[in-house]
Structure 1
Amino acid sequence: MNHSLQDIAWHRSIGQLIDALDKPNFWTQLVRLLDQYLSFDSWVVVLYDGEQRPQVFGECPSADGSPDPLFQDYLMGLFLLDPFYIASREQARTGLYRLSEVAPEHFELTEYYQRYFRLNVVADEIQFNCQLEGERTLCLSLGSQQRFSSEQIALLSLIQPWVLSLLRQRLPYESEVPARPEPPAQHTDWRVRLEASLQQIKGAQLTARELDVGRWMLSGCSSKEIARKLEISAETVKVHKKHIYSKLGIKSQSELFSIFLQAQGNPEL
């Protein structure tokens, strides 16, 4: 059986990564290996656990080595609007996600996109998702200043079994992860946080359905998409939107986004 030198180098690198599973530099080694096969500009490894703040296991260093303030805002609450996070909650599957597959119809028109995504991730993103017990998802995300090509996606699809297996095998060595998933009853649901903030800011009384509509609006869903998700008519969605704006005394999604930031404890971006 003939093997190319590239094949041999790949298998050798995988062997080295297996040996490094319990080492502090594992994530850096994994990312450096991927960087030999495709170009990307940023990366991060996070654990989603219900609607709690994500745990960060590894991330690309900033130019000066200081924490990225935009990413800190993401961890504080913007992750709730992340199409990859939303997809992991809705579909709960292991595999490779592309931005074009999970982003809502109006994603590029959202305040989240304009004030976070295009500044921090820039143009495109792909994510390896490893689904775990207890509504947890371990994710490796790669961001790029250019759109990933079909050839690059095909390559990632080819190697995803190795990557996903390595993610799963690495998890027990992350000291911050409990041995067993803890019940999510001790954290505050995003609706509760948002409603509490709205009470303080505007004295508004939004219904649970209006809160749902508001969140899907902020994530970039069109009225038709929201209607499908909530199993209501598009006209009903429009009525809810009108009530949201009226109760909050606002006229734009930008103002709604500002209220959302305050609800998550974020300063204005």
Structure 2
Amino acid sequence: MKPVPPLAPPLDHQPSSAQIAALIALIGRDSFARDLAGVLADSFEFQSFHIFLYCKAQGPAALANHPDPPAHARGLQNYLAYTHVINPAYRAYQQGQASGVYMISDFFPKDSATIDQPDIDVHIEENELIGYRTPGWPKNMAEVILLIALPNGTALDFSFLTPLGSAQTTACRAMMTQLYPMLDAVLHRQFALNPASLEAADSPANQEDRFHDFGGDILTAREREVAQLILIGHSSQSISLNLGISLATVKTHRRNIYSKLQISSQVELFSLFLLHMK
């Protein structure tokens, strides 16, 4: 997947020399991530965002948040604990996504499925871009994501939350497109000088094995693959293309999954999966 192509934003979306200087002044600090969040909030007036650290061997960590503490602290906690494993941006990182500026919708499967029933654990909501909402996460928000890969295989995800369909989303995307080259250079210089400042204070648990083990004592290896693709938003047609099997075979696997797990809907599959992850 290619990054969002550069836009042609109006002049007020271009960082000023003072803003660029504020970013450069952060290089080398032990408190780099927290101070960077302050610069992004104060100098660029971003209202709500997170700086996540992604690591192959561990779960994601929030290096900084704005505001801090965030208004949706419970949602953030739930995301870091378990729902990140089916989040499109996190899954894109796990699959080697290139650095760049993206909308969360850029990470969806080309032929993604919709989930059309309410649920009490993960909130299945058709108005949400990814089809569900982590419990405690704010409603109807777009996410502009700036993803920067670091030399050690980790990556930073700058996730900016804006009201869905708003002018703020367009402005944020335009500004991040302009800021991306500067932030990329600043972060790589910071990593070279003070790599410890871009590490998590705590080591969050790696949930990838638990994600792949879902249904392991009941489902076959192929059925687990199908279940995982369902959970991250693939339709039957998309599963067929990804696994190189017929649509009829996908439907058979889906029926077998539901039968073996004693469920009857995708919503129940989500709920059972989240119970497994907790």
Distance in 2 separating the partners of 1:31 and 1:107: 34
Output the TM-score relative to the length of structure 2.
0.73
SS in 1 for 2:219: coil
Structure 1 runs (4+) deviating above 6 angstroms are 5-9
Which residue number corresponds to residue 202 of structure 1?
none
Confirm or deny that 1:228 pairs with 2:235. no
Which residue number corresponds to residue 69 of structure 1?
74
User: Aligned-pair distance for 1:151?
Assistant: 5.6
Confirm or deny that 1:261 pairs with 2:240. no
Output the TM-score relative to the length of structure 1.
0.76
User: Aligned-pair distance for 1:144?
Assistant: 1.1
SS in 2 for 1:232: coil
Q: What's the CA shift string for 1:92-146, capped at 9, x where partnerless?
A: 2011111232123235758373332894363211111112345422111111113
Which residue number corresponds to residue 32 of structure 1?
41
Which residue number corresponds to residue 59 of structure 1?
65
In structure 2, the CA distance between the partners of 1:9 and 1:262, relative to structure 1 (3 Å rule), is: closer
Which residue number corresponds to residue 262 of structure 2?
249
Which residue number corresponds to residue 116 of structure 1?
134
SS in 2 for 1:120: coil
Distance in 2 separating the partners of 1:233 and 1:134: 39
Contact 2:147 2:157 in 1 (8 A): yes
More helix, by proportion: 1
Contact 1:42 1:121 in 2 (8 A): no
SS in 1 for 2:275: helix
Identity of aligned residues (%): 26
In structure 2, the CA distance between the partners of 1:188 and 1:13, relative to structure 1 (3 Å rule), is: closer
Give the gaps of 5 or more residues in structure 1.
Answer: 179-185, 200-204
What are the residue-to-residue correspondences of 1:93-242 with 2, within 5 Å?
A: 93-104=98-109, 105-106=112-113, 109=116, 111=124, 113-116=131-134, 119-120=137-138, 122-133=140-151, 135-147=153-165, 150=170, 152-171=172-191, 172=194, 174-175=196-197, 177=199, 189-191=209-211, 193-195=213-215, 199=217, 205-242=218-255
Distance in 2 separating the partners of 1:151 and 1:66: 23
Give the gaps of 5 or more residues in structure 2.
Answer: 1-10, 117-122, 125-129, 201-205
- Higher relative contact order, chain-length normalized (CA < 8 Å, sep 6+): 2
Distance in 1 separating the partners of 2:262 and 2:100: 42
Contact 1:17 1:26 in 2 (8 A): no
Code of the residue aligned with 1:106 in structure 2: it is: A
In structure 2, the CA distance between the partners of 1:117 and 1:12, relative to structure 1 (3 Å rule), is: farther
Question: Aligned residue pairs: how many?
Answer: 243
